[in-house]
Amino acid sequence: MTADLFDGLDTPASAREPLAPGAMLLRGFARPDEVELLAAIEAITAQAPFRRMITPGGHQMSVAMTNCGPFGWVTDRSGYRYDAVDPESGQPWPAMSPLLRELAENAAREAGFPGFAPDACLINRYEPGAKMSLHQDRDERDVGAPIVSVSLGLPATFLFGGLKRTDKAQRHRLVHGDVVVWGGPARLAFHGVAPLADGEHALLGSRRINLTFRRAR
């Protein structure tokens, strides 16, 4: 992706779907660079392979994950946190390529959050049956920056709720290339992913890859 790929190109209004104040779904926003994105992910996972982490409660996550950028999100028996080092290799996480960083910056700007500077990219791999329970992203030191979430591969049902766990969650079908951005009044909204349905994607087979960009520090 070149730095000016989306400069001067407005996403058509029909491709923008407001989810809530501060939350926007950008249909197909990442699609133009799907091949380059998948190549970048493959290079990252060659250095820091996917793994199914353990929650503080001792449960193994159904989603396999890894990270790139200055900080990576990890979970184990001691809790949730960001760390500059991959606990499995003892090495820094792979760098966040300009391709990934610019995608996140451009999507945030398109959704009304200019100046986003992500320093963490969580890469989640979903296989049929994998899910993400409703949760808030609140491990970041400053929650003033938005979250940018990119969907690749199999379609998924994205659950987007309110600021309380008991608030009813909307269900949104996300397909390959869709990007969701939320911040401002929606920054601490509960969200998750319903169990992934079986299927076959032309580029990713029976998998879904999700990139989640954050400002951790």
Within a domain: 130: yes
- In this predicted structure, what is the pLDDT of residue 3? 32
Within a domain: 2: no
CATH assignment at residue 166: 2.60.120.590
Within a domain: 52: yes
For residue 196, report the phi and psi dihedrals to the nearest 5 degrees: -70, 130
Give start and end residues of each alpha helix (H) in the chain: 34-47, 98-110
38 vs 36: CA distance, rounded Å = 6
- What the block records as the tokens of 205 is 């087979």
- Spatial strand order of the sheet with 208-214 comes to 16-20, 23-26, 179-182, 147-153, 208-214, 120-126, 64-68
153 vs 163: CA distance, rounded Å = 29
Query: Which domain does 210 fall in, by range?
Result: 15-214
Look at residue 49 and tell me whether its pLDDT is greater than 90. yes
* Model confidence band, residue 9 (pLDDT cutoffs 50, 70, 90): very low
Look at residue 6 and tell me whether its pLDDT is greater than 80. no
84 vs 191: CA distance, rounded Å = 25
- What the block records as the tokens of 155 is 């379609």
- In this predicted structure, what is the pLDDT of residue 13? 66
Q: What is the pLDDT of residues 107-147, one digit of tens each?
A: 999 999 999 999 999 999 999 999 999 999 999 998 999 99
142 vs 134: CA distance, rounded Å = 21
Within a domain: 5: no
Within a domain: 9: no
Q: In whole angstroms, how far apart are CA 43 and each of 29, 68, 97, 171, 212? A: 22, 11, 10, 32, 17
Within a domain: 7: no
210 vs 214: CA distance, rounded Å = 13
Within a domain: 174: yes
Within a domain: 10: no
User: How wide is the angle at C-alpha 159 spanned by C-alphas 157 and 160, nearest 5°?
Assistant: 140
Give start and end residues of each alpha helix (H) in 57-97: none
pTM of the model: 0.93
Q: How many domains does the chain have?
A: 1
Inter-residue contact 148 to 116 (CB < 8 Å): yes
- What the block records as the tokens of 71 is 């900080």
Strand ranges in 72-139 using DSSP code E only, listed in sequence order: 72-76, 79-83, 120-126, 132-135
